[in-house]
Amino acid sequence: MAVLDRGSFVSTYKHAVLLALMDLCLEHGGRHGEPPSAISTAQVARKVTELYWPQARPFSFAGEPARVLRQSSGPQARILSLVEEYRERARLAPGTSLHRQRSVDPDGVARLEREVEWRLVQMPLPKLQRVGRRVDPFLYEIGWGDDVRRGDFARPSGFDNLLRFRPGAARCLVALAPVLRPMIHRQWALLVTRLNEIPESRVESFLFERDRAAVAGLAGPLLEIQRGRCFYCDGPVADREVDHFVPWSRHPDDGIANLVVADSRCNRNKSDFIADLGHLERWGERLHEYAPDLSTVAGAHGWPRDEAVTTAVVRSIYGALPSDVPLWAAVDRFAPLDVLRLRTVLDRLPTWR
């Protein structure tokens, strides 16, 4: 909160790093949701590249010429420029996903992410925990400082690229993600609005909103896997909608394993609530039984799939729930969390690593 409230923000780098840290803590949790003790700068770079990828598209407003929005008070944020330059060299259509481009040009994307990693090592990672003139390593500790050189980063003997979380920090990032994510999105959007001197009405949705139309295009094949039944109520589906089992507001996971088809009434009533343990158990059984079918759907549509990441996010989110939290069971019905049963259900989820 101090970083968000009193930290120095001349670009959007710190916002991106904070979101990346939260996502990585969710995605690399243990069997019962325990968060990781450390993550690498390469992992942070991959996440930050994913965040900036759609933001390197031209933005148009009120008849003005389309342009990539500024995200720094000085010259354009270099990471955003790197992504924009890569997209221009590859002559990509605005809607080309990073997932698809990784399959087309894995070496080129890897070089891009390596360059992003260096920029993160050089700038925001040593500076994120600085409030005013005081440095307080309350989130993580690193083995370099502001004076790091490119030669250190590239040395053959290896660079200590780990961010080692302070005790309790990673667990707090998991627990507070639903509160912090919208705050960071909002502050990021407001900074971009000020830097570009444009109204804020469409900026936040442009920066962070998912492609609903593309997700909706998966409804048919996913419903076929579900034998035409709603994932939640098991009734026939008249008005189908694709739902994120782990709500998008909790973690932005469009992976095929996180997508289910529900009747519109169930989907809208569930909203951003966490599904109860009966649904979680059925979700795990679906992965066990239909992983090959889900993989086929993802391949046919060029859709991202990483069952290990999605399962880790599920373990992290459910493992961090307080014991008295009500979980969504059915339309207008909630059930209390059964902590003992939760451990059993988590143990039965597929293990991908």
Q: Structure tokens of 320?
A: 């961090």
Per DSSP, the three-state class of 326 is: strand
Q: Which residue has the tokens 């088809």?
A: 261
Q: 307-343 pLDDT, tens per residue?
A: 999 999 999 999 999 888 999 999 999 999 999 999 9
Q: What is d(CA 43, CA 20) in angstroms, rounded to the nearest whole number?
A: 9
Q: In Å, how far are 32, 86, 219, 226, 260 from 297, measured between CA atoms?
A: 29, 29, 11, 13, 12
Helices (H) and strands (E) in the chain, counts: 16, 9
Cβ burial, residue 219 (10 Å; 0-12/13-18/19+): middle
pLDDT tens across 2-47, in order? 777 766 678 899 999 999 999 999 999 998 889 999 999 999 999 9
- pLDDT above 70 as % of the chain: 98
Lowest mean pLDDT across 55-59, 191-195, 213-217, 261-265: 213-217
The SS3 of residue 24 is helix
197-219 pLDDT, tens digit each: 888 878 998 999 877 888 999 99
Q: Supply 124's token pair.
A: 């925001």
pLDDT of residue 81: 96
Separation CA 302–CA 191 (nearest Å) = 34
| Alpha carbon of residue 197 to chain centroid | 28
Contacts for 36 with CB less than 8 Å, ≥ 6 apart: 24, 25, 28, 29, 30, 165, 170
Instruction: Round the CA-based radius of gyration of the chain to a whole number and report it.
Output: 21
Q: Tokens 């759907």 appear where?
A: 297
d(CA 296, CA 168) in angstroms, rounded, equals: 40
0.85 exceeded by pTM: yes
Using DSSP, state whether 149 is helix, strand or coil. coil
Q: Can you read off the two tokens belonging to residue 298?
A: 């993802």
| Residue 289 near residue 251, CB atoms below 8 Å | no
Closest CA to 185 of 1, 16, 9: 16
